[in-house]
Structure 1
Amino acid sequence: MTSSDRVTATYLIETAFPLEQAAATMAGEQSTGTFVRVPGETDELREAHAARVEELVELGDVETPSLPGSGLPKGGGDGRRRTARVTLSWPLANFGPSLPNLLAAIAGNLSELKAFSGLKLVDIKLPPAFLDRYQGPQFGVAGTRRLAGVFDRPIIGTIIKPSVGLSPEATAEQVRTLVEAGVDFIKDDELQADGPHCPFDARISAVMRVINAHADRTGKKVMYAANLTGEIDEMLARHDHVLAEGGTCIMASMNSIGLPAMKVLRAHAQLPIHGHRNGWGMLGRSPALGMSYIAFQKLWRLAGIDHTHVNGVDNKFCETNDSVIASARECLTPMFDAPHPGCEILPVFSSGQSVMQAAATFQALGTTDLMFAAGGGIMAHPHGPAAGVRALLLAWEAAVAGVPLADAARDAPELKAAMAAFGG
């Protein structure tokens, strides 16, 4: 069996047990072992199916356990609680190219083991065999750009607000304001799917009448990500309604529907899938538990999303800028070695974004292959939404050219007003 037939997963751990013992516990628990050797666990079986500890790097000590419920080794240990980076590998034959069963192996019972007061999955590497079963993104960066008609700059996006409460007709009127302002992309809020006050089919029909009429007049067809999250049969029918109305994007809440449902949606879809990550904070916020976004987004890329949120620089949430940029960079990084498809997807920057973050985002990421979604940064512009969109375009033009924002604003009233409004 070659290395290309193995899955690897990297973790950050915290434990009062000797590190080698702790790592061996992880490998045994998630493959052939249990707390005691059992009949049938032969040397041959272990050789063929046991997980291996590929790397163990000690990182330092902590004074107190990060999570409750952890135990001590027999005799109480040496009084130290160590942290480390551990990489395990499994033979693909244990579970096959199956994302649900992969998750059972790499993120199953590990976080409940008493030996650990911290255990977080931070990265995975999968063999190309997964590409034989999972299609990956259908549109990705290039296909999304083509449908949005935006090249050589970020796609400028926004969101319908208030999140819920608008009727289909009121939603369409807000869309009218936004398309006339020159925005490239509009999305439903993840809280708005198919409620009785704003039924999905009626909302999409009303919105697409506005978008199609604008496209007929101007040649620019704004991409609208319709939130079709629901049961599988509902999502497939909703996709078909969007397609029939001339829509160019759908949106699904990843954690709500699960990987198998996303795989079904991807196989059916003829439109880009905007994967919304709501709920990821439960997995990612704790440094001692859960899963990093770098690992998380790889699973969903294989399942078929085309773009996904990565938060934003200087965002309104708790995520650091370094974490945001690392996530965005990973979305644009191939998952597999050549000649296999890269499965790159478009990172979506959002959460309190305005003209003030454009330069820092570009400097950190080094590319304009991204969507820059601003709600208040467009709608709350003192001179109106059109000035808000214009200001963002000018801010990104200055960022790419290396021109300081204040210099670019001297002869640009929209940008100057945006800096005054959002600079605080």
Structure 2
Amino acid sequence: MPINTNASPRPSTTDGRIRATYWVETPFPLEAAVAVLAGEQSCGTFARLPGETDQLREAAGAVVERITPLDMADSPSLPIRPLPSKLGANPTFQRAEIEVSWPFDNLGASLPNLLATVAGNLFELREISGLRLLDLQLPPSFAQRYQGPQFGIQGTRKLLGIEGRPLIGTIIKPSVGLNPKETAALVKQLVDAGIDFIKDDELQANGPHSPLRARVDAIMPVLKEHEQRTGRKVMYAFNITDELDVMLQNHDYVQAAGGNCIMVTVAAVGLPALVWLRKHSQLAIHGHRAGWGMLSRSPYIGMDYRAYQQFWRLAGVDHLHVNGLRNKFSEDDASVIRSAQACVRPMFDAPTPGCEVMPVFSSGQTAEQVADTYKALGSTDLIYCCGGGIMAHPGGVPGGVLSLREAWEAAVQGADLDTYAQSHPALAQAIAAFRA
């Protein structure tokens, strides 16, 4: 495959090509290994074939736009087959950042085929001892075919009538085990305490102990009564993850009951199902990223969130989980913030809309992480979900919700958290309870 040695580091997508940036590691000569990768993911194979003319390769072949050598390693980052003797007894493993582009006509504006192209067989190549998809740049044709988010950040705010601050949210816990009546009782506590957003756990969808429709029937009267009494709407993300026909039916049930949000575990339902759900949906779609760790935990294989979130944004989610600072999982804080920033980064050259979605912070979050979150992100356009940070607050659920509001007030005002807490008891209790 051809290698373009004069490409700019961040080329425009106005040329109509699909571009992907990778981190790569190989014991083979770098340019040769990268050329194999480009060939495998376009018109080439391990041997030149009779039909693989120069004209065909010129028209359909992937182009290696850039190779930026990085560091070297003494051993492979991933298991590999025995190396050929020509590489010597102790080969070094060259690492690099590369950019590869494909003609749009190879696949068209198709998310499933995009995934097969930029994250397909290349991860299995014997020449590669480490590979990670870092980023994508797509032609505007993808935005023209796919609807993207229906509500996104501003639409979600409009549904709830909330401006100028984050949505304070929580997750129904225990994850599973509560029946619909018990769930509704917990929802009543949360809405009375002033919560903005509630979601089902990703493990709670439509099980026999808490069927989705029974849960809707129990919860929606609580939300409606609260709105009639206070004038405040609360968003509840009902987890409808299931087979496509069941999801569509359950979407309609939630909508008919007066709901405003549904939730899907995006990797579990897949791109085509989510695209179809988005075409059908009249509700905000809350995207949960369960399974993301399989793609992200190793730095030597998988996918960066910069690339991952583009698929689901185009498919039509309105909110996407990004983890949280000092979380209970393995992801570091810098990665969390990059993920949140990616959710609001424009995907296409102006004037094409950027499909921005609302990042959802969760996982071990309390009032303690608020100031750092705001400082790093520089925005309140997010959902800040806390489980234990609300439920385990010394002042109960009302104290937990209030402590989060107070922490965000302090952060936005630029006030020192401890100083602000001196005149805000709920925040002071949260600091005492949750500070490590």
Residue identity opposite 1:75 in structure 2: K
Matching of residue 51 in structure 1 with residue 62 in structure 2: yes
User: Of the candidates 173, 189, 194, which is equivalent to residue 161 of structure 1?
Assistant: 173
Distance in 2 between residues matched to 1:268 and 1:85, nearest whole Å: 40
User: Of the candidates 12, 16, 39, which is equivalent to residue 50 of structure 2?
Assistant: 39
Partner residue, 1:94: 106
Partner residue, 1:129: 141
Deviations 1:175-208 (A, max 9, x none): 0000001000000000001111101101011101
**Normalising by the residue count of structure 1, what TM-score does the alignment of the two structures yield?**
0.98
Distance in 2 between residues matched to 1:131 and 1:415, nearest whole Å: 43
**Contact 1:13 1:116 (C-alpha < 8 Å) held by counterparts:** yes
User: Of the candidates 17, 28, 49, which is equivalent to residue 17 of structure 1?
Assistant: 28
Q: After TM superposition, list the pairs within 5 Å mapping 1:311-322 onto structure 2.
A: 311-322=323-334
Distance in 1 between residues matched to 2:163 and 2:398, nearest whole Å: 20
User: Of the candidates 87, 92, 98, which is equivalent to residue 76 of structure 1?
Assistant: 87
Deviations 1:47-80 (A, max 9, x none): 1000000110111011211111245355025721
Matching of residue 138 in structure 1 with residue 150 in structure 2: yes
1:225 aligned counterpart, secondary structure: strand
User: Of the candidates 366, 371, 376, which is equivalent to residue 364 of structure 1?
Assistant: 376
**Contact 2:181 2:218 (C-alpha < 8 Å) held by counterparts:** yes
Change (3 A) 1:126 1:71: farther
Partner residue, 2:270: 258
**Contact 1:160 1:171 (C-alpha < 8 Å) held by counterparts:** yes
**Contact 2:313 2:355 (C-alpha < 8 Å) held by counterparts:** yes
1:57 aligned counterpart, secondary structure: strand
Deviations 1:353-406 (A, max 9, x none): 001100000110011111100000011110111111111011011111111110
2:215 aligned counterpart, secondary structure: helix
1:4 aligned counterpart, secondary structure: coil
Residue identity opposite 1:248 in structure 2: N
**Contact 1:140 1:345 (C-alpha < 8 Å) held by counterparts:** yes
TM-superposed CA distance for 1:237, in Å, is 0.6
**Contact 2:14 2:349 (C-alpha < 8 Å) held by counterparts:** no
Partner residue, 1:117: 129
Deviations 1:276-302 (A, max 9, x none): 000010111111111111110000000
Q: After TM superposition, list the pairs within 5 Å mapping 1:13-412 onto structure 2.
A: 13-72=24-83, 75-77=86-88, 79-412=91-424
**Contact 1:17 1:73 (C-alpha < 8 Å) held by counterparts:** no
TM-superposed CA distance for 1:149, in Å, is 2.0
Distance in 2 between residues matched to 1:96 and 1:3, nearest whole Å: 15
2:173 aligned counterpart, secondary structure: coil
TM-superposed CA distance for 1:81, in Å, is 0.7
Residue identity opposite 1:83 in structure 2: R
Alignment length (residue pairs)? 423
Distance in 1 between residues matched to 2:139 and 2:214, nearest whole Å: 44
Residue identity opposite 2:32 in structure 1: Q
2:15 aligned counterpart, secondary structure: helix
**Contact 1:155 1:185 (C-alpha < 8 Å) held by counterparts:** yes
**Contact 2:41 2:62 (C-alpha < 8 Å) held by counterparts:** yes
TM-superposed CA distance for 1:3, in Å, is 4.8
TM-superposed CA distance for 1:105, in Å, is 0.8
| Contiguous gaps of at least 5 residues in structure 2 | 1-12
Change (3 A) 1:276 1:336: same
TM-superposed CA distance for 1:4, in Å, is 3.0
Deviations 1:239-262 (A, max 9, x none): 111111111100000010000000
Distance in 1 between residues matched to 2:239 and 2:110, nearest whole Å: 26
Distance in 2 between residues matched to 1:167 and 1:79, nearest whole Å: 60
**Normalising by the residue count of structure 2, what TM-score does the alignment of the two structures yield?**
0.96
**Contact 2:28 2:87 (C-alpha < 8 Å) held by counterparts:** no
Distance in 1 between residues matched to 2:398 and 2:129, nearest whole Å: 52
Residue identity opposite 2:315 in structure 1: A
Distance in 1 between residues matched to 2:221 and 2:234, nearest whole Å: 12
2:99 aligned counterpart, secondary structure: strand
Distance in 2 between residues matched to 1:224 and 1:70, nearest whole Å: 50
Aligned identity (percent) is 59
Distance in 2 between residues matched to 1:68 and 1:197, nearest whole Å: 43
